[in-house]
Structure 1
């Protein structure tokens, strides 16, 4: 289940302390031992157990009795720490409604300095090992919990958005990050697959121009399709950048052609635009 704003607001300061203790100790333990957690949280055993009961009821922590009594954060707990930190920084004032859930993220509306979007990265929720094999940016640690994979993914996207925005690519403006959560500007548009375009040729041209600029800056999207492009009155934004690769990547040509095929094929099927991948490739790489 997605994180609940009410659950975040209702947390006691001891419960925040426990979540931070588990987070810190998960870098050393697959399951954080109860005695180590009690020391880290500086609470009596009765208080610790009482607060852990609340956290588990809110689906922020899970426990195991094998091979010993231990605890792990689950995504709602990690999300909570991130939102709590963004609130303290002043990036976020209130968490709004859930806008959408994808394979590896959940997106919320929020209030900051105006309306913003919070993207909660949730890498590996379904199959962490599969994700790790296919993401060369994940550190080769012997013990690497999925929550830290989500942190790496968020950081990667945030840094890419900063560089792309600075370089002139039409992307959401990144405004803050903590752990696995990226705060960015709100786009009052719809996904390309949901739009009915009056001037599809112009929109395709704008998408290819953005891909060209991104390529010149050292970025290939690596997951581009009609689901990762947003439009508003014919203006285009390219979203979802955590999987980007550098043009020097050994599979860059193949991946770029796949991105281009997805876009060109979509415009061909929906709008009858005759434009080949080879023509699109010339537009992007010169």
Structure 2
């Protein structure tokens, strides 16, 4: 799904009023009636609303559902992109959109700039894009007769990531500086570097290993566990800034959980094992425990312990999990629960695939763009995107047929979306 901003300059203020009206109406309607769009937009005449709707439909910012019982439209991802970008433009945090940095299973990454020309990174969350083929297996809330818009879940994921990054950056964690958040988009600092999976050699491997292990412990001491801490989500800087700069930055935070989560110890150990496995297989570095050393301020060679252990090394010093309502700390409302299930199931599936691939072959250094670190850990092709979209269309067609025939298993969830109950 490409981001095409070439038409944005030609949209009028009335067009954005109508587009925002469709967004607001989508909270309670799968297809927003035209009359409701007109009422929400506040346009003076219905003819002006219809003209704007026609222009938006030509640009694929809204779409009309075929065989619908009434005249109405729904918001497309392109229209959602335009609304998010318009908000950032109005706040003057974004000025221009450049080239694509990466396309992953959960997000699209773009290089952008502000009015002063400073380069930044725009991450657009697109949950559900590649999970339609396993949606019935991975989403237990759908089996319970519930549903949630992937567009809404993408917005929740972006908001969560922005909250995590803001809290961590303010506490001097090695994360990109977040600048803005609108709907499903997060604007952040552009890090000059490359993903750690491309790392072939390093001037001080023991220090890098110890620093990464200390990051995991420090994060947990502040109440959070990353849950996807691996070579794909760690950037190695081209040029560290000063002696105090550790030379790396950690990205991708929507899936963080609280240390009070029932599976916190498991996910903590999984993060640690990911780093240990990478250093052993790719960099041939595997520190062993040495009882003669007494230093516990780090991990690896020269320190008492080769790696951290959840029960031994975690001692809470902050409550970030409470401040951002991380998974496992408090009981969530349905929207948060849907987001956690959606994100975590994709994480677990990807983690299993990575481990299977590693058993078959060793790590290989690939020629990729330096910006690829911002992308997700697995890329998807245009064919897969089209397959996912076609399956979504088939689901809509079944819903339309159910509406026409009055099928009894057609339900409406709390978000106003039609679902077919198995």
What TM-score, normalized to structure 1? 0.88
Which residue of structure 2 aligns with residue 214 of structure 1? 219
Which residue of structure 2 aligns with residue 138 of structure 1? none
**Displacement of 1:207 after TM fit?**
1.6
Normalized per residue, the structure richer in strand is 1
From 230, 233, 254, the equivalent of 1:242 is: 254
Q: Is the 8 A contact 2:217 2:308 kept in 1?
A: no
The one-character-per-residue Cα deviations of 1:213-233 (angstroms, maximum 9, x if unpaired) are 111111111122211110114
- Change beyond 3 A, Cα 1:27–1:222: same
The one-character-per-residue Cα deviations of 1:98-148 (angstroms, maximum 9, x if unpaired) are 11111111111111252211111112234476799489xxxxxx6742222
Which residue of structure 2 aligns with residue 192 of structure 1? 196
**Displacement of 1:49 after TM fit?**
4.0
Q: CA RMSD in A?
A: 2.8
In structure 2, what is the Cα distance between the partners aligned to 1:78 and 1:166?
Answer: 29
Which residue of structure 2 aligns with residue 282 of structure 1? 309
Q: How does 1:14-29 map to 2 (within 5 A)?
A: 14-29=14-29
**Displacement of 1:190 after TM fit?**
0.9
Asked if 1:124 is matched to 2:128, the reply is yes
In structure 2, what is the Cα distance between the partners aligned to 1:237 and 1:282?
Answer: 23
Q: Is the 8 A contact 2:200 2:282 kept in 1?
A: no
Q: Bigger CA drift: 76-85 or 197-206?
A: 197-206
Asked if 1:256 is matched to 2:268, the reply is yes
Asked if 1:203 is matched to 2:208, the reply is yes
- Change beyond 3 A, Cα 1:60–1:248: same
Which residue of structure 2 aligns with residue 273 of structure 1? 285
In structure 2, what is the Cα distance between the partners aligned to 1:177 and 1:133?
Answer: 27
In structure 2, what is the Cα distance between the partners aligned to 1:240 and 1:22?
Answer: 30
The one-character-per-residue Cα deviations of 1:171-193 (angstroms, maximum 9, x if unpaired) are 00111111111111110111111
**Displacement of 1:27 after TM fit?**
1.0
- Change beyond 3 A, Cα 1:20–1:267: same
Which residue of structure 1 aligns with residue 348 of structure 2? none
Q: Bigger CA drift: 269-278 or 235-244?
A: 269-278
In structure 2, what is the Cα distance between the partners aligned to 1:89 and 1:173?
Answer: 17
Q: Which runs of 5+ in 1 are unaligned?
A: 136-141
- Change beyond 3 A, Cα 1:203–1:14: same
Q: Bigger CA drift: 143-152 or 233-242?
A: 143-152
SS at match of 1:35: helix
**Displacement of 1:24 after TM fit?**
0.6
Which residue of structure 2 aligns with residue 139 of structure 1? none
**Displacement of 1:14 after TM fit?**
2.4
SS at match of 1:6: coil
Which residue of structure 1 aligns with residue 9 of structure 2? 9
SS at match of 1:281: coil
**Displacement of 1:46 after TM fit?**
4.6
- Change beyond 3 A, Cα 1:60–1:270: same
- Change beyond 3 A, Cα 1:126–1:71: farther
What TM-score, normalized to structure 2? 0.61
The one-character-per-residue Cα deviations of 1:14-56 (angstroms, maximum 9, x if unpaired) are 2211210011111111111122112223265554444334323
The one-character-per-residue Cα deviations of 1:144-165 (angstroms, maximum 9, x if unpaired) are 4222211111111111111111
